[in-house]
Amino acid sequence: MPTSTQPNPTIRRKLIEVSLPLDEINAASAKEKSIRHGHPSTLHLWWARRPLAACRAVLFAQLVDDPSAWPDRFPTEEAQEVERNRLHDVIRAMVPWEASSNETILNAARWEIARSVAWNIGEEPPPRENGEAILRYLQEKAPPVYDPFSGGGSIPLEAQRLGLRAYGSDLNPVAVLIGKALVEIPPKFAGQAPINPDARAEAARGGAWQGRGAQGLAEDVRYYGKWMRDEAEKRIGHLYPKATLPDGSEATVIAWLWARTVRSPDPAAKGAMVPLVSSFMLSTKEGKKAWAEIVHDANAPDGWRFEVRTGDLSAEDEARLKKGTKGEGRGSNFSCVLSGATIDGKYIKSEGMAGQLGSRLMAIVAEGKRSRVYLAPTAKQECLASSLRGDERVLEAREGTLAQPVPAKLTGGTCYGYGLTTFASLFTPRQLVALTTFSDLVAEAREKVLQDAVAAGRSTDSTPLHEGGTGATAYADAVATYLGLCVSRLTDAQNAFCQWGPGANQTQHLFRRQAIPMIWDFSESSIFSNAAGDFGTSLHTMCKTLEQLPAIGKALVFSKDAAKNTLSSLSSVISTDPPYYDNIGYADLSDFFYVWLRKNLGSLWPGLFRRLITPKNEELIASPYRQGNKEKAEKFFMDGMNKALAAIRATAIKTEPLTIYYAFKQSEDALEGVTSAGWASFLQAIVNSHLMIDGTWPLRTERGARSVGIGTNALASSIVLVCRSRPDTSEIATRADFLRTLRRELPAARERLRVDGVSPVDMPQSIIGPGMGVFTRYASVLEDDDSVMSVRTALALINRVWEEIENALDADFDAETQVALAWYASHGFDTRPSGELITLANAKNISDSSLFQSGVFLNRRGKAQLTPREELPAGWSPQTDGTLTVWECVQHVARTLEATEGGQEAAARLVAGMSGKAEAARALSYRLFQIATDKGWSAEALVYNALADEWPTLEKLASEIPNPVASPVAEETPRLL
């Protein structure tokens, strides 16, 4: 294993320990979620991946020295701040998705890392403009990055993109294989030309290969994948017949829509099987609405059949159709379509466990000339599907690898209680035949690749890929690995739990959430339709991703239980995304893919697929159903996390900080906030592992969550904790010592976070970093009874001191603003008796008439009110206001930003004219946000959070105004806030 090359290393403060352009990182992370084509997440599904933008920024800031670490090079605070801002600009440039393949931007980031490495070992960095030299330098001199919980591979991938040696490990074999496909396999064959016959023929005609990275590998995966599809269509294409349109012409079937059925419990139905439908709507697009209806027909099986209708619908009829045959209330309650009797959910489960659930074809979706066409089911189509139940491939699947059990319990729900207890039962017979056929073709395609690779002149070395080979045999293994992953990822859309999306008019994949829930009416996509669920579509998506991967340097992803990790020889920079307390068990979910990958690729990766299913007992989550009860589950998690973090501490290079991600669950967000059990337990494990927490950075992948969360414990999607090893010489402190140090250090830390642009909504989580930095620098903090203070108590004290600091800052505002703050905290913008204002004014030694004259308050004839923003005078300017207050500055800027035209520019002119009150105004926006949040005034909180977010931009624009003059607000009526 590689080790650090740094001689006599010196611990220097890193950028991530001081400052980050957090808002731009969060914006890029949120935008990234809408990226599909070419994004590494589309190579194969894995749950809860960290955004690549965030991983890239965190790794960069983790490895680049903060300017304050070099006082000889940046001797003043001003010089350090200028350099810090320059580094922020490097991060801002590299976090957008478009920058992930921009070598100019990436080389600029790589050079900054190389410069820090070089300075720390007394060398000069390679030339800034020489990208190849920078990469060589980083591979030889920079420490490797290691993620011991690598999951979907985001962190190793971004380490590789930054030119660093990348290592990852995971307990789960599906995650390990995904990681290998992302970072380990592509560099082995980078820059090599494709070997398929078409490519060789092109080369023979003199067409030199111009591709780079893994593009040659991607071309071969595409070529042999297409061969698989064409060969499969020859073998099973007859199972996917075309549909007959009303005009007699034929069209390709996109999907068959099925409804599950159960025998009616009502004797009046005479034992008929009746449908369980959650919605009859097939298309909800305006002008193209389509739906299914049940028609009573004595000649039809069980006395009913489905018909398909199109046209206009009243709102009442559409609501009725969207309800399907669901009964009232929650749960799996339905109504019998023949008698109207209630079909209880418990009855349906009992029938399911007895193997008595059936299915009926509800509609056929075909590809029309201009849009989807919805057709009524035909006996021929339905009989063809049902005739496959005795197919030997179906029987083999049900008795072989796919006979493994579906998880009986899962946080997001499972279908187990309805008798669908094996993975084979999650697929229709036609899907089992198709997926088995494609699985068999993976091995056949590999043999063709091997023959063509030898013919193309590749080394005949027979060392397989899993043993480190790079010759023709290993290359055939590599192509087959991606083809096997392609079949595996296809199962997410080729199963009997995919819903039809009537809005998008396409099949929706299974894992839209982390569960295998029961679906009553489902979509069976055609595997040859060139639409969602089609093999060719899946293949195209995978190849688009593969050809854009970095494919540089050295990388290794291996199977390892982090709680038993003894890789102290792998001296590395640690950045990791560990399991989150009682989160969903990904081991249970991943078996859905594992059973297919074991069938497709078990012989190529024997070490990964030696088990029948993925390891469960070692998975590091607090799972009461596995460990017996809640107390045992918490102990299991704490013990395992303590061991894993101890191994991480032993592996980490002592000169560099560690970064550890913690993702908040929705329940933590809504109910417990920053003192949740999972969060406190996780921090306690870090403390127990003798790590110091140096910072906490909130990452948001959902920008919309800001508006939803404001007024509640609005937690970020995840927190990045910055940690270092605690020195063995750390002292013991008392509770009083801890509080005294918090009160001394948190004000400056809060100001640093505010200057960096941390939003008011993120401040409570961000301030935990410096607060826990104080707590964890001590060997322990003792309570008054000499017991050791818990993390949960420390978190409560940090929050208390932070509130004290916020309240103390009020005294720095002018008297009018102090009165306005006190009034706002009690009454908001409500009108109250003037006597209450007089009392507040007297306490601040100011008259109520002065408050009215200042424009902060309105005199309502015996009553008083803070001037509402919509009633603020148009044309106001800070330069011409005779009694300028911080309160007015904030309210006028907030109002101006909402103006219909030129809001930002006009607001910037106001900021430019505030002179010394601009900083106080920004601070007031944070304070007002906190008050509004505490009061549950979501709309008001949104105003101040948006204002604080926008303030750095306004200041920048203001600085570019040469001679700021009064800039009246637009006279048109602004939108109300």
Chain segment 312-348, per-residue pLDDT in tens: 999 999 999 999 998 776 667 899 999 999 999 999 9
Read off the pLDDT band of 664 (50, 70, 90): low
Of 355, 378, 358, 356, nearest to 366 (Cα)? 378
d(CA 480, CA 181): 11
Backbone phi and psi for residue 505, each to the nearest 5 degrees, phi listed first: 55, 50
| DSSP-assigned letter for residue 405 | B
What average pLDDT does this structure show over 80-101?
96
Q: How far apart (Å, rounded) are the C-alpha atoms in residues 356 and 273?
A: 10
pLDDT tens, 131-183?
Answer: 999 999 999 999 999 999 999 999 999 999 999 999 999 999 999 999 999 99
> Average pLDDT, stretch 787-797?
90
Q: Residue 249 pLDDT > 50, yes or no?
A: yes
Question: Global pTM?
Answer: 0.86
Q: Over pLDDT 90: what percentage of the chain?
A: 61
Tell me the average pLDDT across 431-440: 96
pLDDT of residue 901: 60
pLDDT confidence tier of residue 38, bands split at 50, 70 and 90: confident
Task: Tell me what pLDDT residue 124 has.
Answer: 94
Measure CA 454 to chain center. 42
| pLDDT beyond 90 at 600 | yes
281-294 confidence digits (pLDDT tens): 999 998 899 999 99
Mean pLDDT of 395-403: 85
Among 59-63, 554-558, 874-878, the range scoring the smallest mean pLDDT is: 874-878
Pairing status of strand 658-663 against strand 573-576: parallel
CA distance 287 to 271: 40
Pairing of strands 573-576, 555-559: unpaired
pLDDT of residue 779: 93
What is the spatial distance between Cα 175 and Cα 173, in angstroms, rounded to a whole number?
5
- Find the mean pLDDT for residues 510-522: 89
- Band (pLDDT 50/70/90 cuts) for residue 971 is very low
| Secondary structure of residue 250 in the 3-state scheme | strand
- The string of pLDDT tens digits covering residues 926-941 is 889 888 888 889 889 8
- Within 10 angstroms of residue 72's Cβ, the number of other Cβ atoms is 5
In the predicted model, what is the mean pLDDT of residues 795-818?
86
| Mean pLDDT value of segment 338-364 | 94
Q: Tokens 């190389």, residue?
A: 114
Q: Are 53 and 32 in contact (CB under 8 A)?
A: yes
Sequence-distant (≥ 6) Cβ neighbours of residue 308 within 8 angstroms: 282, 290, 291, 292, 293, 363, 374, 375, 376
For tokens 């948001």, the residue is: 700
Two tokens, residue 601 = 């690729």
Percentage of the chain lying above the pLDDT 70 cut? 93
Q: Is the pLDDT of residue 925 over 70?
A: yes
Instruction: Evaluate if residue 74 carries a pLDDT over 90.
Output: yes
What's the pLDDT score for residue 378? 93
Residue 708 pLDDT grade (very low, low, confident, very high; cuts 50, 70, 90): very low
pLDDT at 811: 80
* Cβ pair 745, 802 in contact under 8 A: no
Rounded mean pLDDT, 767-774: 88
| Residues 119-134 pLDDT 10s | 999 999 999 999 999 9
CA distance 411 to 317: 35
Q: What's the whole-number average pLDDT of the chain?
A: 88
Max mean pLDDT range (30-39, 109-118, 400-409)? 109-118
Q: Where are the alpha helices (DSSP H) in 491-606?
A: 535-546, 586-601
Which whole number is the average pLDDT over 351-357? 95
Which of 410-424, 556-570, 745-759 holds the top average pLDDT? 410-424
Q: Is the pLDDT of residue 711 over 50?
A: no
d(CA 890, CA 946): 12
pLDDT surpassing 50 at residue 977? no
Per DSSP, the residues of 888-910 read HHHHHHHHHHTSSSSHHHHHHHH
Q: Which residues contact 400 (CB under 8 A, 6 or more apart)?
A: 599
Question: What pLDDT does residue 702 have?
Answer: 56
Residues 171, 613 contacting (CB under 8 angstroms): no
